[in-house]
Amino acid sequence: MSIKRKVEVVVISDVHLGTYGCHAKQLLTYLESINPKTLVLNGDIIDIWQFSKRYFPKPHLKVIKKIMDFAANGVDVIYITGNHDEMLRKFADTKIGNISIVNKKVMYLDGKKAWFFHGDVFDASIQNAKWIAKLGGYGYDFLILINRFVNWILVNMGKEKYSLSKKIKNSVKQALKYISDFEEVATDLAIQNGYDYVICGHIHQPKIVVKKNKHGETTYLNSGDWVENFTALEYQFKRWKLYNYSQDKRAPFFADSDIKEMELNDLIAAITVFNPKDVV
């Protein structure tokens, strides 16, 4: 049996459970490979915008079950609300066992101050930001379906996979400007408020970079997504690193057997039952 990696803090965002673009199996494989002290879910984990009773497959439920298992085993799970799961904002500052729901979070890591939030709050202040909502909605989901068909053909032809959404975002000046403006606004605010780290999601662009202005510097981090990049942020030994599933050369992990063998109804029951006394 493979040994799970111990990680002090893990950050994932933009999973979009409940959509065709979500790669829940890959995420579950990653979650099975780690033993975190704190798991930060930085927004858009469940895509309530596009939620449909017709599509929420078993692997998506398994991800929720795994997160709840983490909490049951003592992992501090922090769910930061995003725009696709903004319905949860009315439950902000609610705590159920080891799971807390917040709109933002400040943590102290080895004497340094880290500011976590999803990032959609910037959309109203950044010009031409509507593309991210359009691309992240039904059109984006349809694009992912087309992309899967194209990649199936490419793989059968012995060629490498291709990301249509990445190509669009990397070639549209408006999209590139939005990403640049997003990073600038986030880092300027972080420097102004004395944060050593600013950790976001939302724009599906994984990155770790030191940003400076005339008032100081901060480290900007973005956890990316589990739609096209399959990335997460990990903090261990006083440093951050960007985890990329596609570059993970270790032996693959598989879902715990008790989860793997659960019937769908049992799985649903397992993630919906909690003790009301735990709510504070």
Structural domains of the chain sorted by starting position, each given as residue range(s) with its CATH number in brackets? 7-278 (3.60.21.10)
Q: Return the minimum-mean-pLDDT range out of 12-21, 70-79, 258-267.
A: 258-267
Tens-digit pLDDT profile for residues 187-236: 999 999 999 999 999 999 999 999 999 999 999 999 999 998 999 999 99
Measured CA angle at 196 (ends 178, 76), to 5 deg:
95
Pick from 142-156, 162-176, 238-252: least confident: 162-176
Pure H helices in the chain = 24-32, 58-72, 130-135, 138-156, 164-171, 173-192, 257-260, 264-272
Per-residue model confidence as pLDDT tens digits over 1-25: 568 999 999 999 999 999 888 999 9
Residue with tokens 């990316």: 224
Residue 158 tokens, joined: 């012995």
Structure tokens at 32: 């099975």
pTM: 0.79
Give the pLDDT confidence score for residue 221 in this predicted structure: 98
